[in-house]
């Protein structure tokens, strides 16, 4: 049975790997010249299996008002003429309750914890190297209010049996010795089973291994539309040619909604623009040991072998990929404060990418009203974290095997406003230019 996977980021590539392992004939198509050259290229490097939380959280609406006037705010909204933006923001606000936060975080932790197990198994099986470290994540709190607010997260971690440690200043320094000089830290939440690694390096090497296992990768191919007949997809238009397959997987990140919209599917995935800096390490003893997450700025500082990756922030600004000097200032501010002697900022590489976010934080994985169309998208800031679990989960679903985790709340049918109302057999959608 032939499967056409649309997208060769970390989500599309892991989907292809697990589908091939399940016995499918797999072809991956992407508009870029290689794998992981968009959202997966230079993300924060966190494998945050325990630190998994939706942006939609209690208190965020009030905080967002204050962030409008802060130079280094973690979230920025640039209003435009896009109705999808306002619809997504409204849905996000509706998820900023204690009840919805608990439900959404539980779903996300479920997938993230499973993904950790899948990644560990994959590493043991094929020995893939991606500058990975198994030394945990430390979430830094600069105020007592931040520390107190972590209680709800801790409750959910305990519910799912995720190990955690609440650290005082001495504990922080023991976990991350280079932070001994930093004043004003009131505490931290450490998640010892979290990991780090270069997502782009992982994806590129897994794509090579998948190709050796029989997966066909076709790059520099523009995907322009989908054709259907009733409740079946009949083909995808790629480079002006109709490509057919038995089943189709949409793993196009932020561009997924545009492709499926002509099918009558309103997929609530919107791009959250994020930024990163990558700088060479100058003094290993003054660099992070693993990943530090600064709760005040929502910025992560991650250690690779010889580099530091600083990533974070979110802008609701559509498909704009311009590099903002103001955002660079924020990233530089955090790394100068925490690790002033760790890396060379003068040699830093500045990058931006679009994270495909759902309003509730949970990805959209699984079946659709079209019998042979499947989705694997909407992972937001946690695509790297959830990639292996999402790929294996999807392969199990498509193989008619019972997934190893609950399927509750993971597919598009959790959105009650969804309607399948295709009006024509041959509709096309041109995706935004790269």
- Report the relative pairing of strands 426-428 and 223-229 from DSSP bridges: antiparallel
To the question of whether residue 10 is assigned a binding role by annotation, the answer is yes
Asked whether 91 and 142 are in contact (CB, 8 A), the reply is no
CA distances (Å), origin 324, targets 20, 99, 300, 328, 375? 40, 36, 18, 7, 32
Q: Which residues of 30-50 are buried (b: 16+ CB within 10 A; e: fewer)?
A: bbbeebbbbbbbbbbbbbbbb
Nearest to 191 by CA among 381, 293, 288, 50: 50
Q: Is 9 annotated as a binding residue?
A: yes
Q: Is 367 annotated as belonging to a binding site?
A: no
7 carries a ligand binding annotation = yes
Residue 188 to residue 36: CA distance in whole angstroms: 32
Q: Which long-range contacts (CB under 8 A, 24 or more apart) does 401-410 make?
A: 401/22, 404/114, 405/110, 405/111, 405/114, 406/110, 407/366, 408/107, 409/103, 409/107, 409/362, 410/107, 410/111, 410/362, 410/363, 410/364, 410/365, 410/366
Q: Is residue 60 marked as binding?
A: no
SS (H, E, C) 260-305: HHHHCCCCCCEEEEEEEEEEEECCHHHCCCCEEEECCCCEEEEECC
Pair 384, 10: CB distance under 8 Å = yes
Instruction: Measure Cα distances from 327 to 46, 276, 297, 342, 378 in Å.
Output: 19, 9, 11, 20, 23
Place of tokens 């690790």: 339
Helices 199-212 and 10-21: angle between axes, nearest 10 degrees: 30
**Residues near 80 by beta carbon (within 8 Å), at least 6 away in sequence:** 317, 318
Q: Does the annotation flag 290 for ligand binding?
A: no
Cβ-count burial of 12 within 10 angstroms (0-12 exposed, 13-18 middle, 19+ buried)? buried
CA angle (415 as vertex; 409, 420 as ends), nearest 5: 120
416 is annotated as contributing to ligand binding: no
> Any binding-site annotation on 3?
yes
Q: Is 17 annotated as a binding residue?
A: yes
Establish whether 8 is an annotated binding residue.
yes
Q: What is the dihedral of CA 225, 237, 36, 76, to 10 degrees?
A: -10
For residue 208, what are the CA distances in angstroms to 16, 201, 216?
11, 11, 10
Q: Is 334 marked as binding a ligand? A: no
Task: Please tell me whether 103 is known to bind a ligand.
Answer: no
Binding residues for FAD are: 3-17
Residues belonging to the binding site are 3-17
């Amino acid at each position: 049975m032939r499967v056409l996977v649309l997208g060769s980021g970390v989500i599309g590539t892991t989907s292809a790997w697990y589908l091939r392992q399940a016995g499918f004939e797999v072809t991956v198509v992407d508009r870029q010249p290689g794998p992981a050259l968009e959202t997966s290229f230079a993300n924060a490097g966190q494998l945050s299996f325990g630190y998994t939380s939706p942006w939609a959280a209690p208190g965020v609406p009030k905080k967002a008002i204050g962030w409008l006037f802060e130079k280094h705010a973690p979230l920025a909204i640039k209003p435009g003429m896009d109705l999808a933006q306002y619809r997504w923001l409204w849905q996000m606000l509706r998820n900023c309750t204690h009840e919805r936060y608990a439900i959404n975080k539980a779903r996300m932790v479920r997938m993230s914890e499973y993904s950790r197990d899948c990644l560990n198994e994959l590493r043991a099986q094929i020995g893939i190297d991606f500058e990975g470290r198994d030394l945990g994540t430390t979430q830094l709190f600069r105020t007592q209010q931040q520390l107190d607010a972590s209680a709800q997260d801790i409750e959910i971690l305990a519910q799912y049996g995720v190990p955690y440690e609440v650290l005082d200043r001495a504990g922080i320094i023991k976990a991350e010795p280079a932070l001994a000089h930093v004043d004003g830290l009131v505490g931290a939440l450490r998640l010892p089973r979290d990991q780090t690694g270069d997502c782009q390096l992982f994806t590129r090497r897994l794509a090579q291994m998948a190709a050796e296992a029989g997966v066909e990768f076709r790059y520099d191919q523009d995907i322009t539309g989908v054709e259907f007949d009733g409740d079946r997809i009949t083909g995808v238009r790629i480079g002006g040619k109709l490509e057919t397959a038995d089943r189709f997987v949409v793993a196009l990140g932020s561009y997924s909604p545009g492709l499926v919209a002509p099918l009558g599917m309103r997929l609530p995935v919107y791009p959250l623009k994020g930024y990163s800096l990558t700088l060479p390490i100058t003094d290993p003893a003054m660099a992070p040991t693993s990943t530090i997450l600064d709760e005040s700025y929502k910025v992560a500082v991650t250690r690779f072998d010889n580099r530091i990756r600083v990533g974070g922030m979110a802008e609701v600004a559509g498909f704009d990929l311009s590099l903002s000097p103001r955002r660079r200032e924020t990233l530089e501010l955090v790394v100068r404060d925490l690790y002033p002697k760790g890396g060379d900022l003068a040699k830093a590489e500045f990058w931006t990418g679009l994270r495909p976010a759902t309003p509730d934080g949970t990805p959209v994985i699984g079946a659709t009203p079209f019998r042979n169309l499947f989705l694997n998208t909407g992972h937001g800031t946690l695509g790297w974290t959830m990639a292996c679990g999402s790929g294996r989960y999807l392969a199990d679903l498509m193989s008619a095997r019972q997934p190893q985790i609950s399927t509750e709340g993971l597919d598009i049918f959790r959105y009650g406003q969804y309607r399948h109302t295709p009006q024509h057999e041959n509709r096309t959608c041109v995706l935004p230019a790269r």
